[in-house]
Amino acid sequence: MEQKAGYEKPDQEKEFVKEITPRSVDFSQWYIDVVLKAKMMDYAPIKGFMAIRPSGYALWEKIQEQMDRRFKETGHQNAYFPLFIPHELLEKEAEHVEGFSPEVAWVTKGGDEILSEPLVVRPTSEAIICDFYSRWVQSWRDLPVLINQWCNVVRWEKSTRPFLRTSEFLWQEGHTCHRTEEEAEEEALKMLEVYRECIETELAIPAVVGRKTEREKFAGALRTYTVEALMSDGRGLQAGTSHNLGQHFAKVFDITFLDKDDQLKHVWQTSWGVSTRLIGALIMVHGDDRGLIIPPRLATFQAVIVPILTKKDRKRVLESVQELADQLQGNIRVKLDDREEYSPGWKFNDWEMRGVPLRIEIGPKDLDRGQVVLVRRDSGEKFFVPREELPTLLPGLLDQIQDDMLKKALEFREANTRSGSDYAEFKQIMEEKRGFYMASWCGDAACEEKVKDDTKATIRCILFDQQPADENCLVCDKKAKEVVYFARAY
């Protein structure tokens, strides 16, 4: 079988973990080793594309399920729009085209026929959706339009990494229309909070929220808001964005409505999205040198039962673990690994690699004592529990693991968030330690660009609810206007 996909023979269990590069040696290679050996993805024959394998896709389904529930609770509906966008529609919005033109994939031929007008494979759907909205919205009674789409998009990336940046990826994109600017702003901030809450609650990733700079905002947006997270190598990652589009697209695509005062007006719009890069974030925030660590709320299997079999007691152990698996099914998501072609040690390594939150070990001696052995994936803690207590104990223990994972990630972020006003010190930290760096900024794009040129760091967000900056800009001597987070980022 293919070595790169992470398959092993039973007699290779001693080498199982050695094939994962330690994070301290090469974090990027560690990440690739994990996603391949945990069978989350495999490379496609086209550069920048990948297949998402069942274990990886199951994570996306869980994220999708939790996000979608929250969208619907806030009044949004799902719809679907075409994959292909006429060149003419994309060209209508010059700023939007300029922002995406290096990444656009074109279709110029259909079957044997050369197309009279080339088609764009959607890099995002503002253009095509706005064309529909221009027909769907006529009156104030048609507003608000609260629609979300789950789909794939294509952006022809030059530098790619599985889940984090690929030429094709899965995401959701919300697109809404409103009567007033105030309603659009409220929507954009509401969805930002939905993202923050879901990422922290379900993925156990602490989030920083704020506004993007003019340089970093979405092409065509009035304002872009962002959810930022810190990975365990000290790099930041944009986990989700929400945009107040203003009336920019509405004027380009003539999305107008007759208001209550009988005046014809342009709608105010928002768009917002998260993608499969959240899977990459989850791996890099929680993973260790043995592989994945999956938060219990997202785990396909929250616990795996591994029987310890002997020839003498094989039958009674198998009967007992099957009975236990059936008993636990109503309480947690459990998997019984009764494969006899693999040793218990190999299974331990395999399920640790896959990040299952709890392992339940049961052998003949455990049956005699009426106990099981529980092992936590996040901490490695191992303890003995009376078997009869499992149905009531496990749900609470899984909640504790979820909370502990968030707490650990938060402690890491706080320990790697620094502040200051010395530019030389800032450059040294970005080179040697990385992490978030909170500092004052004058608001000048030239200073923003200088930081990127000098350190490869960017302004991740402008903080909300900040006091007026009392210091001068980190980069220049001008009076600062805002407090921002800097970081090197994916």
Phi, psi for 270 (deg, rounded to 5): -135, 160
Q: Where are the alpha helices (DSSP H) in 270-374?
A: 277-286, 314-328, 344-354, 364-369
Query: Is 227 domain-assigned?
Result: yes
Q: Element (H or E) spanning 119, and its range?
A: strand 113-121
- 65 and 209, same structural domain? yes
263 with 310, same domain: the answer is no
Residue 349 near residue 13, CB atoms below 8 Å: yes
The answer to whether position 467 is within a domain reads yes
Domain presence at residue 387 = yes
> What DSSP letter does each residue of 396-432 carry, written as one string?
HHHHHHHHHHHHHHHHHHHHTEEE-S-HHHHHHHHHH
List the domain range (segments joined by +) for residue 277: 55-286
Q: What is the CATH number of the domain that holds 393?
A: 3.40.50.800
Is 13 part of a structural domain of the chain?
Answer: no
Same domain, 312 and 360: yes
- Quick check: is 36 in a domain? no
User: Phi/psi at 397 (nearest 5 deg)?
Assistant: -65, -40
- Same domain membership, residue 340 and residue 204: no
Verify that 282 and 313 share a domain, yes or no.
no
Supply the DSSP string of 72-115, one letter for each residue: HHTT-EE----SEEEHHHHHH-HHHHHHHGGG-EEEEEETTEEE
Neighbours of 154 (CB within 10 A): 19
Query: Are 75 and 178 members of one domain?
Result: yes
Q: Looking at the 3D structure of the chain, how many domains does it have?
A: 3
How many Å apart are CA 347 and CA 359, to the nearest integer? 10
Do the bridges between strand 436-441 and strand 482-487 make them parallel or antiparallel, or are there none, so unpaired? antiparallel
- Same structural domain, 320 and 467: no
Encode pLDDT of 470-490 as tens digits: 789 999 989 999 999 999 999
The pLDDT of residue 300 is above 80: yes
Residue 10 — pLDDT band, cuts 50, 70, 90? Answer: very low
Last residue of a domain, one of 233, 259, 286: 286
Residue 456 within a domain? yes
Q: Are residues 267 and 358 in the same domain?
A: no
CATH of the domain at 187: 3.30.930.10
Which pTM does this prediction carry? 0.93
- 82 and 185 share one domain: yes
Confirm whether 375 is domain-assigned: yes
Do 369 and 460 fall within a single domain?
no
- C-alpha to C-alpha distance for 22 and 209, rounded to whole angstroms: 31
**Residue that is last in its domain, among 397, 427, 457:** 397
pLDDT level of residue 18 (50, 70, 90 thresholds): low
- Regarding whether 207 and 350 lie in a shared domain, the answer is no
Task: List pLDDT tens digits, range 402-457.
Answer: 999 999 999 999 999 999 999 999 999 999 999 999 999 999 999 999 999 999 99
Pairwise CA distance, residues 362 & 365, whole Å? 8
> Looking at residue 423, which CATH number applies to its domain?
3.30.110.30
Contact (CB, 8 A) for 333 and 305? no
DSSP secondary structure letters along 34-52: HHHHTTSEEE-SSTT-EEE
**Predicted pLDDT at 3:** 32
Q: Do 197 and 117 share a structural domain? A: yes
In the listed set 223, 252, 286, which residue is the last one of a domain according to the structure?
Answer: 286
- Residue 294 located in a structural domain: no
